[in-house]
A and B are shown apart, each in its own frame.
Chain A
């Protein structure tokens, strides 16, 4: 619809929209996060939801204790190799459409424990991540910024065509293989369909 005509009509009290817009508007303003935290970053996540930062302004105050009712997984904290299968399993149990924010240096790369023997070097090795936030820990503002980035991302999704979100594409996977505990490391140590080591050129 022509933008000028839309504005004219709006002045007369007639509102027009598209199904896509209203669908995305509804989805992006009611993203319920999954209630779980893994390490120190979770404390900042908790602070974000409380009175001072008030994540409720963005429609995300309802933290769900069940993955079946959650739309967003905030991976807040260090993902140890022992915990990684459980995180992937929780992600698999969430219903589409679902999103992931990797919060903090640990969740995006292993952070201060990157060279450690027991820490996964980023949850994006096993599940697709929508927004990465650096920081150790990121401040609540950073989490809110990530949240707004995610909302913008949802607003731009098209219901048909190439920019279609994953949950509308029946061929796209919504579950990802859960890694097994191996004798020396997780098996496999990453999911090559989701993550590839950056090429090193020097």
Chain B
């Protein structure tokens, strides 16, 4: 299979205007992925599916990720003049990562027997502009999984043929897999509570008299 960088440049050549970014994964898995922009995602997906070399004809998994706003700290080494001598000093750089929701697609090719290539899309924010284009018209296997993301993360997939909740019921208001989800307080006895569960348990102890 071609490398991710090759795939990226071929996408950019084939789909004019598409912005593709390689998101690197520093963990031992080193599974890097492609971030595509919302406007061209369907065209990019179609290219990946139909290109004679790539032929990603199977989407095995779609999942969601919730990224709340966070302050990232990064240590960088810069050269500075200290008392007339040039020295290398470490400085902490702080950046604010905006909040967004992400959908992640794992693509394989049955015909070429290669994969996976990981495709990501990000919403504008996680409050209102939570729309992404649906890739179900490209890969039919996304249908239920996009419904699951819609249910649990609250991403609306435009162009999905049947976007309804799948695990929870109609009329349910929350998105349980979001990090700020608060579950209903129906605590019950727990033999060894700790951390959050202990905090919760304490609220249910009889008031000390």
Chain B contact-residue range equals: 20 to 34
Query: Which positions 143-188 of chain B face chain A at CB distance < 8 Å?
Result: 167-174, 176, 181, 183-184, 186-188
Chain A at the B interface: SS class: loop
A198 within 8 A of B: yes
A189 and B186 form a contact (CB under 8 A): yes
The CA-CA distance from A202 to B184 in the complex, in Å, is 23
A118-B189 contact, Cβ under 8 Å, with A183-B173, A184-B174, A200-B205 = no
A118 and B167 form a contact (CB under 8 A): yes
Chain A contacts of B201 at CB under 8 A?
200, 202
Chain B contacts of A114 at CB under 8 A?
188
Chain B residue with Cβ nearest A82: B169
Which residue in B170, B183, B187, B205 is a CB contact (below 8 Å) of A202?
B205
Query: Which positions 79-115 of chain A face chain B at CB distance < 8 Å?
Result: 80-82, 109, 114-115
B28 within 8 A of A: no
Chain B at the A interface: SS class: loop
The CA-CA distance from A198 to B171 in the complex, in Å, is 30
The CA-CA distance from A182 to B206 in the complex, in Å, is 28
Chain A residue with Cβ nearest B170: A181
A 189-202 binary contact with B (CB < 8 Å = 1; else 0) = 11000000111111
B204 within 8 A of A: yes
B172 and A183 form a contact (CB under 8 A): yes
Chain B contacts of A121 at CB under 8 A?
186, 188
Chain A residue with Cβ nearest B169: A181
B172 and A197 form a contact (CB under 8 A): no
The CA-CA distance from A189 to B168 in the complex, in Å, is 15
- How far apart are A197's CB and chain B's nearest CB, in angstroms? 6
A198-B206 contact, Cβ under 8 Å, with A82-B169, A117-B181 = no
B186 and A200 form a contact (CB under 8 A): no
Which residue in A183, A190, A199 is a CB contact (below 8 Å) of B206?
A199
- How far apart are A79's CB and chain B's nearest CB, in angstroms? 14
The CA-CA distance from A184 to B181 in the complex, in Å, is 11
The CA-CA distance from A201 to B167 in the complex, in Å, is 35
Which of the listed residues A114, A117, A183 has the most CB atoms from chain B within 10 Å of its own CB?
A: A117
Chain A contacts of B181 at CB under 8 A?
117
Chain A residue with Cβ nearest B176: A117
The CA-CA distance from A118 to B184 in the complex, in Å, is 11
A190 and B204 form a contact (CB under 8 A): no
The CA-CA distance from A184 to B173 in the complex, in Å, is 6
- How far apart are A114's CB and chain B's nearest CB, in angstroms? 8
A200 and B189 form a contact (CB under 8 A): yes
A198 and B189 form a contact (CB under 8 A): yes
Query: Which positions 164-201 of chain A face chain B at CB distance < 8 Å?
Result: 181-185, 189-190, 197-201
Which residue in A183, A190, A201, A202 is a CB contact (below 8 Å) of B171?
A183
- 18 A-B residue pairs with Cβ-Cβ distance under 8 Å, sorted by A, are A82-B168, A109-B188, A114-B188, A115-B197, A117-B174, A118-B168, A121-B186, A181-B169, A181-B172, A183-B171, A184-B174, A184-B184, A185-B184, A197-B187, A198-B188, A200-B201, A201-B206, A202-B201
> Which residues of B are interface residues toward A (Cβ below 8 A)?
167-174, 176, 181, 183-184, 186-189, 197, 201, 204-206
Other than the known A118-B168, A184-B174, A200-B204, what 11 A-B pairs have Cβ atoms closer than 8 Å?
Answer: A115-B197, A121-B188, A181-B170, A181-B171, A182-B171, A184-B173, A184-B184, A197-B187, A198-B188, A199-B206, A202-B201
The 6 closest A-B pairs by CB, nearest first: A117-B176, A185-B184, A181-B169, A183-B173, A198-B189, A189-B186
